[in-house]
Structure 1
């Protein structure tokens, strides 16, 4: 176990003890240092000022041995350092630094074949350069470490957030399926009730028909009996009653033998049943052409549960610092990238007076606040301070006859056209023409507490006939 060097230091000369002596007060000093102190004054301890009882204090042999061992280790270390400063091959002092092999060499090494063609610099200059390089490397490694720590913290946040997302998504799925179940249950009840009602109607009709048949059977039986009795009468009597009997026979008109339409109209209830129910469900289902991607939303943007509307909040939400998220500005994009064809969506702006709408390139920066202009990968319309501006370079002020409550964004990717219209009368507000080099995504920005809402569209069902 090593002893700290300060415990082996004389309080007078502040050096390692030489021939240490021990006073009665337990303080130790070099013999010569103590003698000098006593020669100039009273015979007392230089530390605690306690008077010494002996003029020739005893040697502290244990301390002396420890100090000598410590000095021996120090001398050996000094020799080792000296050896390390000399060339292992030539024994000469290392005065140069080979810039090719990145190692210190002596003047003999520089003249050897191994280093003769190599650039070298004095050891002092090389030391400064190497320290600068190591400082830069240290800074780079420290930055990497800080970044890894940040990623580690973000990973922990994302782990918690994933669980929250899972619970919220499951809750929404259950809620929406519950709504669909209610529609299906209601439609099932209505159709079962319709079958039951028709059953009651057909059974009542059948009972009336059976009652009518029974009356006709009774009347017909009576007529047959009358004719049979007439046939048994005397000839003259039969002839006298013939006309009346014949009229009664001919007056028997049977109207209850028509049995059509008495069964349940099964086809009416089962024909394309699933398709008809599906058509009914559409009245309870909204379809929006654009759905917001919550993983890209700035923390100050609040999205609706169905991911179709957004508004600004001064109180940021707790969300992880993932790479897809906009970190500098209150922005969010749609979840689907568009790389061909024509697309459109209508956004209800309502009372929101601070927004940007349009499309953005898939690769736009999420960590920097940059102008939403074409050269930066944005094609947008801006409404702020009561004025419309097309975000060109520089922005183009626009004049409109009225402030629309809705804005239609229309993209024709193949033609390189992004248009903004008032859907109330299809009036064109502005159109960008460009050549798109990568997929585009619907883009939204606002710093207003009033929501921007993507409007649902009517779903049309067509049947292909062959």
Structure 2
């Protein structure tokens, strides 16, 4: 029997009505085989008794008999299929919670590989094989395994939902399309699926654009917050600087006021002490005379009495204290004068702030012709012949070591110095990722490692990593700039203690050091920094000032 079943294809064991392996196969008079239950239900629901395959009509309902041979072959086929399923089940995975199980498996339900929309059944790898080999089953629509396949059947006609009514925007079966949706625009599910999928693709693209816009907006907002934070830090630093100066001024004026008042009080106390001391001395003398007078008045020695009487008769010489008094000092106007001086200090501070905010055009009138001093240049710096450009070189040059030369960092000073008045110069920083600019006092440390700060004699700003700007104050102040300066202007007002930096092209203030204490010569300070693998090879260029 096994050999006989092997001569038949698996397709020949399938009922053409249920498309599954025969169950109780019977043969019609025309010679075709069907499941007993399938052919009986077919004839029960049809007016005519015709063969579903050859369409032969029978006048009376034929009597059906079990096809014994085919039944045995089907049984053998089922056993072989079961054995095959059993042998392969060890290689396949049992369905886990949440996964779709095979509807055909008995015992342990294996994980379904596909679901058939025609059979409304989910199949594991073994039970799916007929759908992959049998010609009629190959026409069935297979999808990834899903649960509740019954939901894909029309509840009214018990037929697969394989069409879509565009008029009512709903899925329908074949009978629905010719009965309830006869005049509607009905298309196959696949056609509508492709159209809707294209729409969904557009929707997804639009959503992605919306996401990108919102992500950009988030970045923009975060950048605004960063700018705000940097501006806030800068303003706080400037505010602390200004108000610290004002606080120190207030404390200084208060101390002067208290000292003035206390000095007047000390003077008054000293005067009173002197008067009291003098009065106590006179009292002591008077008490002594009183004792002598009293003693003489009790004397019985007439001669002694008369001899001493002239010297004791008159009171001892004393000061006339009638007009003497200690008058409290007058403090009227002391506080008023102190407040007036404080107002004057505040007015000067306000004038400094106004000057700080001035545009570059005003300070350009103080332009000076700055050139680089080769005697101060670090050994790897390359200076142009006209002394207007400096860049970093990779070759160590044997240069004379003199007290003026920087020997540890890539720095160089300008030849021109300032010990009074104002001066201004401009430096091109285009195409550079790192640089330092500003002014330095003459006595700076040029031989060792020194932090750039006002305490060490440097008033500078710098750029690092192409976008990190900082004012080298104490502590350093991060700078938030709307655009990268291509040309930086440096302005110094010696008497006012002011060093300001400007974005020349944007005509905008970058940063100002205020209330600086200058006591010696100041020199322009430059550092092109290292090449950083060629990324920072562009030079710093001292430019002529175009007023």
TM interval, shorter chain, is 0.3 to 0.5
- TM-score, normalization by structure 2: 0.31
Structure-1-length-normalised TM-score: 0.36
Taking CA–CA contacts closer than 8 Å with sequence separation of 6 or more, which of the two structures ends up with the larger relative contact order? Answer: 1
